Chain A
Amino acid sequence: MTLVRWSPLRDLATEIFDLQREINKMFDRFFRGFEEEEEVRISTWSPRVDISETDDEYIVRAEIPGVSKDDVKVTIRDNVLTISGEKKQEKETKNENFHRIERVYGSFTRSFTLPGAVKVDKVEAKFKDGVLTIKLPKVEEAKTKEIEVKVG
């Protein structure tokens, strides 16, 4: 047995990492197939999203109020959908003449691994009233097929 200097902080850190790994695993199991790329997230805020699936497509909705159409970027690379952009503060706070600031500002990125292949050239993105809607049509093979089994 080797002697190791006891460091309470290091022990605590490993414990926290273990716990984090456990929690991540739990979430991974929960969102299997549509998991978020945790390591890509370095931004200070991330928009809230809704993702739903129909037989033909995936629909992603993100709330990004206060961002203009030109400041939003949607990309798909290696089956990873990324929404990024920047929310700029409308008013300069030079004079510090504010009473309250509750809204968040800054750049954001959010990435999602798509559970199946999508027709990249047919992806539709719309931005209206601060809500970004992305429709990703599924590739034929990725659609769920129902096969009827006849029991003879």
Chain B
Amino acid sequence: MRRDRSIIKNEKSLRTYITPPADLYETPDAYILYIDLPGVTKENLNIKVVDNSLIVQGKFELSLPKDSDTMFSELAKGEYRREFVLAGDVDRNKIDAKLVNGVLILTLGKKEESKEIEIKIE
């Protein structure tokens, strides 16, 4: 069973993806992840948690008129994909996603028991 899955994984990795830049911050309650995904709409975005990893995948479609000449072509074309290994203290049920101006903002809440508590000295 496990072997089969690894084969599938390898097949998938044969595709090339664009790796979008990401920022990761940590607060006492959560991890906040910002990923630049310009051109990706909510419909073309796929976020999932598989085992210990968080996978973000998004498509960027360019609609150009048929009879056009390209003068500058710097934009990356294709599919974005980024995989993150989740830390043990992430609560899988507390993951929020927002897409603002081409930036995906993921808030990964921490498990209640792994939150930092300050111990008062008496």
Point out residues on A near B: beta carbons under 8 Å.
31, 34, 48-55, 58-59, 61, 63-69, 90-91, 97-104, 127, 129-131
* A131 contacts B68, C-beta separation under 8 Å: no
Q: How far is the CA of A58 from the CA of B68 in the complex (A)?
A: 9
Contact of A49 among B24, B27, B65, B75 (CB under 8 A): B75
Q: How far is the CA of A66 from the CA of B33 in the complex (A)?
A: 13
**Interface pick from B1-9, B38-46, B47-55:** B38-46
Count of interface residues, chain B, beta-carbon cutoff 8 Å = 35
Contact of B26 among A52, A68, A97, A127 (CB under 8 A): A97
Most chain A CB atoms below 10 A, which of B26, B64, B74, B99: B74
Binary CB contact string for chain B from 5 to 30 against chain A (1 if under 8 A, 0 otherwise): 00000000000000001111111000
Contact of B25 among A34, A61, A68, A91 (CB under 8 A): A91
* A59 contacts B22, C-beta separation under 8 Å: no
Q: How far is the CA of A31 from the CA of B74 in the complex (A)?
A: 14
Number of A-B contacts (CB under 8 A): 111
Given contacts A63-B38, A66-B101, A100-B24, 17 further A-B contacts (CB under 8 A): A31-B72, A48-B74, A52-B68, A52-B69, A54-B68, A54-B69, A61-B75, A64-B38, A65-B101, A65-B102, A67-B101, A99-B24, A99-B25, A103-B36, A127-B101, A130-B36, A130-B38
For residue A35, give the distance in angstroms from its CB to the closest CB of chain B.
Answer: 10
* A59 contacts B24, C-beta separation under 8 Å: no
Contact of A101 among B23, B37, B67, B69 (CB under 8 A): B23
Point out residues on B near A: beta carbons under 8 Å.
21-27, 31-32, 34, 36-41, 62, 64-65, 67-76, 99-103, 105
Q: How far is the CA of A69 from the CA of B36 in the complex (A)?
A: 16
Most chain B CB atoms below 10 A, which of A52, A65, A67, A104: A65
Q: Which residue of A lies closest to B103 (CB)?
A: A66
For residue B77, give the distance in angstroms from its CB to the closest CB of chain A.
Answer: 9
Most chain B CB atoms below 10 A, which of A53, A54, A90, A130: A130
For residue A87, give the distance in angstroms from its CB to the closest CB of chain B.
Answer: 10
